[in-house]
Amino acid sequence: MDEIKRILGKRFEKPGDSSSRIVRVRFATPQSLTKFASKLTSLARTVRACEERRTRHYSEALEERWSSVWNEAGMPQYVNIKDRVVALLDFWIDPSDASVAAWEETLESKLWQTDGDTVNSLPYPPQKRRNIVGLAFTASRRVQPRYPIYIISKGRAESRYTSRALERMRVPYHIVVEPQEFAQYTAVIDSSKVLKLPFGNLGKGSIPARNWVKKHAAEKGHARHWILDDNITHFWRRNHGRKIRCVTANIFSAAEDFVDRYENVPMAGFHYQQFVPDKRQIAPVILNTRVYSCILLQSDIPFAWRGKYNEDTDLSLRLLKKGFSTIVFNAFLISKTPTMKLAGGNTTEVYDGGSKRKEFAESLQRQHPDVVKVVTKFGRFHHQVDYSPYKQNALIRKRRISAPRKYYMSDEPVAIA
């Protein structure tokens, strides 16, 4: 670090402008840091700024805590890689600068694959990536979810990403559509799986449909139900520090059983795979934060879905403020098409192609002014939520818990056709 500071001098600080983007460089050994510092000499003039973010170590305490909880529940294997990061540096670089090419040559990696990427986390020296194309986690026997799965969809009979993903996994589901589109969906999906709403084109996004689903599940006697967005492309499982596609329904069953061990978790779900990096020590679950897109919801919660924007964050916050806990799974993940990139759904009816970003950020702030503020990031308006007041919401274990089921999932992925 002292050598890098000497090279960069006073520029060892975050720039005041927001035009530059972050390149995060990880070093596993002091030797790799020294080697990088020598290469940085030739790049010193191109560096906008730099700062040390933190030094992280593998935590045996974290691993022991979550391994015991996870294994006691009989969950599929979840093992972290025992990596050790001795230094973690952030460099702010102008992506329009010609010096990006020099950085890419030094790091031996493309910095920005698309215009939407804002942060790259790269190891130094570069590491070879294992080819996982054609690999997937499977199970020798299917264990179907005990709670019904609902997909809320509008204007996406042709794409129907979530429906296709569940079909590949042979998972039963219902897709909930408005009456004017019922014929379009039943033309491409088994009509027994399509549920027709009693209303259409209300201009309120998915909120009325979500409340209809909640009522439908409760009337059918289901203690919980899954409610999924209609643009989920794949499901993933993480093990041995890497995430690989999963093509078995058993991840739904495992998540249900884990949540059902606690009496105060009305809302849970799968995390986005892009937010759970490979080769990091990460707990199999996150507690007391927002749940979104792939949600396991208690059917008799004392709240209805409300508003027009950010309904998942709003409901999560209302439950947390009542003292409940939420669970987001890092062991089981989803990937989706980018927000507002797919026609249909809320893209036109609610978000208006992205022109209402400030409005929907401010709407959440009005609902929860104590923990939400509106910020500008990457040239766009965002809501920023402080979940720290709810970190102490403790899980309450049920007194009587059923013996863990067997999920028949292998510890390693296999090649699939």
pLDDT tens column, 305-319: 999 889 999 999 999
Amino acid making up residue 60 = E
Structural domains of the chain, with CATH: 2-124 (no CATH), 135-345+408-415 (3.90.550.10)
Query: What distance, in Å, lies between the first and last C-alpha atoms of the chain?
Result: 48
3-class secondary-structure state, position 410: coil
Separation between Cα atoms, residue 299 and residue 305, nearest integer Å: 12
What are the residue ranges in the chain where pLDDT is below 50? Answer: 115
Structure tokens at 256: 């249900």
Measure the CA dihedral 341/295/174/198, to 10°. -80
Amino acid making up residue 343 = A
In this structure, the number of other CB atoms found within 10 A of the CB of residue 119 comes to: 10
Instruction: Mention every residue, 6+ apart, whose C-beta is less than 8 A from residue 113.
Output: none
Strand duo 267-272 + 119-124: pairing: unpaired
Mean pLDDT value across the chain: 88
In the 8-state DSSP scheme, what is residue 85?
Answer: B
Separation between Cα atoms, residue 259 and residue 297, nearest integer Å: 10
Separation between Cα atoms, residue 336 and residue 94, nearest integer Å: 29
- For 325, half-sphere exposure in the C-beta direction (CA atoms, 13 angstrom radius) is 19
In the 8-state DSSP scheme, what is residue 359?
Answer: H
Structure tokens at 236: 């993933």
**What pLDDT score was predicted for residue 82?**
82
**What pLDDT score was predicted for residue 348?**
54
Closest CA to 23 of 35, 36, 10, 6: 36
User: pLDDT digits over 112-171, tens only?
Assistant: 765 455 667 888 888 777 777 889 999 999 999 999 999 999 999 999 999 999 999 999
Sign of CA dihedral 272, 231, 306, 265: negative
Strand partners, 397: 262
Q: Where are the alpha helices (DSSP H) in 198-249?
A: 207-219
Contact 25, 107 (CB under 8 A): yes
Q: Where are the alpha helices (DSSP H) in 17-59?
A: 30-40
